Amino acid sequence: MHAFRDVDYDRYTITKEYDPEVETVRQRDMIERAASLAKEREEKLGRRMSACVVTFGCQMNARDSEKISGVLISSGIELVDDENADIVIYNTCTVRDNANQRVYGRLGNLGVMKKKHPDKKIVLCGCMVQEAAVIEKIRQTYPFVDMIFGTHNIYKFPELLVRLLEEDGMIVDVWKKTDSVVENLPTLRKYPFKSGVNIMFGCDNFCSYCIVPYVRGRERSRKSSEILEEVRRLADSGVSEVMLLGQNVNSYGRGLEGELNFPGLLREVEKTEGIRRIRFMTSHPKDLSDELIEVMAESSKICSHLHLPVQSGSSRVLEMMNRKYTRESYLKLVSKLRAAMPELSITTDIIVGFPGEEPADIDETVSLVHEAAYDNAFTFIYSKRAGTPASNYESKMSEEEIGEGFNRVLAAVQEEARKNVSRFAGRTMEVLVEDVNDKDKEYVTGRLSGNVLVHFKGDASLIGSYLQVKLCENKGFYYIGERV
């Protein structure tokens, strides 16, 4: 396989720009064409065509999968959870190398299935396939894959679906970049009462460990008028909670002349009748303004939860990561947030074992976890990503030292989480019921404004309801409650 830097990316790349309104009409026409082709296939099979969409990665990937699923349903194709389906789509993540390895492993199983059923269609999309080396590996090692498309042209999925149903051989349609934002296509939401809303795409931060700017592209904000119209449509359809999504929502609006900034957008979303809860992620600490803190503190709808990735508690490591803030400035920001919103739940992301990190740096991360008093944290061991600056850095710690450091950070996170979540014990609070509990069907699972999960007795009729629940038993990261 070629090294990443040796692959001629443009060999696989098409870059085109479209007028969003014209493109929306065009893709809706393509859905009709796909439906006709699916009907023809249905008549031959004697049953409806089926498709399985498997999502790897973040909330933005999950939102993209909802769009893919919406197009499939609108084309008359049945969605199933079984990978024995006629079409299997892997919407991939590439933030960590083990995500890629999981996909490769599952592709091998699909190859066995395809030998028995040659008409089966296998599709790879998402962040992973924005890497040219991945495309080359798929072509060489998994030639049975029928289609590869990336993050920039997901709005073309109706057209790509037509090609999938009409053409044989591997179709590769991956774009290096785009300035187009096309959002008004069918979407199948996982929950009828809550939905993600993309407000921007891409990232301009170029953290030294992160592949996202290379696979998602540079920042592109949607027009606020389009976002607000989408939120209004969602509210009219019964959605009461929205999550505004972007790689760095705090920089929303940059590059759009005369556009709202992120605090201004939140103020407008809050005016939408029918919306009761507003969430957002992800916030980059370097761009979190005093104005945003003020808007959050004054709001009756913005949830009392903020995900604020720190990545490391060492200023030295943060500089190597190109995070553009220090330990001291981060903790100062946390203090401001706590002063303005004492009830705020703060969660974070932490990387352990970054190349160049030493045990003393991990000590600083452990102490920061205690000072910041997180309600929870996603803690990861550093994963080398080809094509990023950090992939060329040398590690100063052994695997054993990294593992020991990871365990120390995780123990600190768990200690703080148990302590901080316990502040709600005995209180009666509003819970949005999200689902029947997957371990005990006599219980339902809901979520506090602060993002803490609560399990209490109930049935499926309560899903989507806002209920007052007494938090009786603290289980560390969640509560067992009792409906009041």
Among 85, 145, 287, 131, smallest CA distance to 204 is for 287
Each residue's pLDDT tens digit, 126-135: 888 888 888 8
pLDDT of residue 13: 37
- What superfamily in CATH does domain 425-483 come from? Nucleic acid-binding proteins (2.40.50.140)
Q: In percent, how much of the chain has pLDDT > 70? A: 92
**Is 53 in a helix, a strand, or coil?**
strand
Give the span between the Cα atoms of 18 and 48, in whole angstroms: 33
**Cα separation of the two ends of the chain:** 61
Domain 4-173 has CATH 3.40.50.12160: yes
Q: Can you tell me the distance from the alpha carbon of 413 to that of 369, in angstroms, rounded to the nearest whole number?
A: 6
Confidence of residue 467 (pLDDT cuts 50, 70, 90): very high
Residue range 113-122: mean pLDDT, rounded:
93
- Helices (H), ranges, 143-252: 157-166, 212-216, 224-236
pLDDT category at 278 given cuts 50, 70, 90 is very high
The pLDDT-based confidence of 185 (bands split at 50, 70, 90) is low
Q: What torsion do the CA atoms of 401, 406, 411, 416 make, to the nearest 10 degrees?
A: 130
The candidate with the shortest Cα–Cα distance to 217, out of 259, 179, 262, is: 179
Average pLDDT, the chain: 89
**Residue 320 — left, alpha, or beta (φ > 0 → left; ψ -120 to 50 → alpha)?**
alpha
Whether 413 and 384 have beta carbons less than 8 Å apart is answered as no
CATH 2.40.50.140 residue ranges for the chain: 425-483
**Mean pLDDT along residues 190-196:** 88
Q: What is the CATH number that goes with domain 191-300?
A: 3.30.750.210
User: Per-residue confidence at 15, pLDDT binned at 50, 70, 90?
Assistant: very low
**What pLDDT does residue 1 have?**
27
The pLDDT of residue 3 is above 50? no
Question: Greater confidence, 213 or 34?
Answer: 34
Read off the pLDDT of residues 379-411 as tens digits, 9 standing for 90 and up.
Answer: 999 988 878 899 999 998 999 999 999 999 999
Each residue of 35-55: pLDDT tens digit?
999 999 999 999 999 999 998
CATH among 3.40.50.720, 3.30.300.130, 3.40.718.10, 3.30.750.200 for 304-424: 3.30.750.200
Per-residue pLDDT tens digits for 89-109: 998 887 666 677 888 888 988
What pLDDT does residue 183 have?
Answer: 59
Between 213 and 474, the more confident residue is 474
Owner of token pair 């030998």? 115
Residue 414 has pLDDT above 70, yes or no: yes
How many whole angstroms separate alpha carbon 45 and alpha carbon 50? Answer: 11
pLDDT tens, position by position, 306-365: 999 999 999 999 999 999 999 999 999 999 999 999 999 999 999 999 999 999 999 999
pLDDT level of residue 57 (50, 70, 90 thresholds): confident
The percentage of residues in the chain with a pLDDT greater than 90, rounded to a whole number, is 67
Residue 46: helix, strand or coil by DSSP? coil
pTM comes to 0.77
- b/e sequence 96-110, b meaning 16+ C-beta within 10 Å: beebbeebeeebeeb
pLDDT for 17 beyond 70: no
Give yes or no for residue 21 having a pLDDT over 90. no
CB 454 within 8 A of CB 446: yes
What stretch(es) of the chain map to CATH 3.30.750.200? 304-424
User: Residue 375: its pLDDT value, please?
Assistant: 94
1-10, 240-249, 345-354: least confidently modelled range: 1-10
Across residues 75-96, what is the average pLDDT? 89
Q: Give burial (CB, 10 Å; 0-12/13-18/19+) of 225.
A: exposed
